[in-house]
A and B are shown apart, each in its own frame.
Chain A
Amino acid sequence: MIDYNEIHRAYVESDAYLGRKEADARTPGSKTRWARARMFNDQAYFLMLFAQLEQHINVQVAKLIDRKKALPRWQDRRLWQEAKSDRISFMQKVALLSEKGQTTYNRMDTLYHDFRCAIAHGNTAAVGPIFIPTVAAELKGLAAALRA
């Protein structure tokens, strides 16, 4: 289970350290370097939280598939018989747990493509700094909404 309080505390401590370095920097170049370090710290925390949300989604999809495979009527379970959660793309898994076109699905789409993938593919400047407490609360809400 995700321990958001522990992560929040660790984030605040590390952000405060880098914030102090940024505040104490004497030259604009040095200030920018520390601001970038702070941004990387934000993004690293984001990736960690998102990875935990991905894990939650994997578990929920596996549960859903197991439940559907165990349906008594063959007509109900036939579509699920060959379903393998490790062969389903991430956004398809999200679509199994939330309705496409609705708020939860759309927000997951944005967080996955514009944040998670952008950071993972090195497009860190486009993502910029992330305020982790707000985003962590949002991911917590999304995890609650994405259930089998």
Chain B
Amino acid sequence: MTVIDEIAEEIAEFEADHGRKPVRMWLTKRDKFDVAKLKRNEFSMAGTVMQKGVERTVKELFGVPIASWDAAQREYRLSDGETAGTAASVKARIDDWVKRLNALFESLDEWTAGVAEARVERNHMQQQIEGLMEQFSVKAQSVPIFTVFIGKNRIAFVPSALWISGANGRVNVTTNYRQYALVDLSQVGKPSDWKLVLASPRTQLAPFNKELFLKILAERA
């Protein structure tokens, strides 16, 4: 059995197990073609490989792209984690993040308007470099931050991370007394669903609305 036959069989097994083909496959150095060992019926494929390159030929053969040739053993995955996306999709996610943050801070602006002695400061900062940005060499963009001052109290909303498994972005909410995490639980491309994380066992995730925002503003130690 050749490497090609083995891969074809393993992909068919994977498809039978998971109901769909793997997104990518990780091959080993041993899987590389050895032209000297090709069988007669594989000569034509060797020609295609010379013409189109091995990556393209393998993808055409199996419909599954190669993620790497350095795996310790062959692996097939349903999702491809860190290799998902392109530089353009990473940039698009960041643009969407900035839009969602601006929309959130617009709401905070409106909610603060009715609060006596409250002063709002809106600034920008460079976002933190995250894994996918590093992988696709996408530069950090400027992201908005929102701060409310009431007397000596200060409440700052500072974006923390966009790529976080189980959420679509996290914002640090820092008051003089406490630290909260505000997370967007929306699916990518859907309207925001901001929730404040609480330690309470009864309400672990509270919908972030005007009432809760005003409660945090009025908070004391």
Contacts and interface: CB of A to CB of B under 8 A. Distances in A.
Interface of B: 16-19, 77-79, 81-82, 126, 128-131, 156, 158, 160-161, 163-167, 170, 172, 174, 178-181, 183, 185, 197-199, 201, 204-205
B160 A35 contact: yes
B126 A126 contact: no
Given A8-B204, A126-B82, 12 more contacts: A19-B160, A19-B174, A24-B174, A32-B128, A35-B128, A38-B160, A101-B17, A105-B18, A129-B170, A133-B205, A134-B167, A135-B166
A105 B78 CA distance: 11
A76 interface: no
Contact of B181 (A15, A28, A100, A138): A15
Interface stretch (A50-58, A65-73, A82-90, A107-115): A107-115
A64 B131 CA distance: 42
Q: Is the interface of A mostly helix, strand, loop or mixed?
A: helix
A35 B156 CA distance: 17
A94 to B, nearest CB: 11
Interface in A21-54: 22-24, 28, 31-32, 35, 38, 42
A125 B156 CA distance: 28
B164 A131 contact: yes
Nearest to A124: B131
B19 A8 contact: no
A23 B170 contact: no
A127 B81 contact: yes
B33 to A, nearest CB: 27
Given A32-B129, A128-B131, A110 B167 contact: no
Given A16-B180, A22-B160, A131-B167, A113 B77 contact: yes
B16 A134 contact: no
Interface in A94-144: 100-102, 105-106, 109-110, 113-115, 118, 125-135, 138
A114 B6 CA distance: 24
A133 B128 contact: no
A114 B166 contact: no
A20 B198 CA distance: 15
A32 B127 CA distance: 10
Nearest to A107: B78
A8 to B, nearest CB: 6
Contacts of B198: 12
- Among A9, A101, A105, A133: residue with most chain B CB under 10 A: A133
A75 interface: no
Nearest to B195: A133
B11 to A, nearest CB: 14
A23 B180 CA distance: 11
Given A13-B199, A131-B166, A126 B181 contact: no
A113 B199 CA distance: 30
B213 to A, nearest CB: 18
Contact of B197 (A110, A130, A133): A133
Nearest to A20: B179
A131 B183 contact: yes
B164 A128 contact: yes
Contacts of B16: 100-101
A74 interface: no
A125 B131 contact: yes
A122 to B, nearest CB: 13
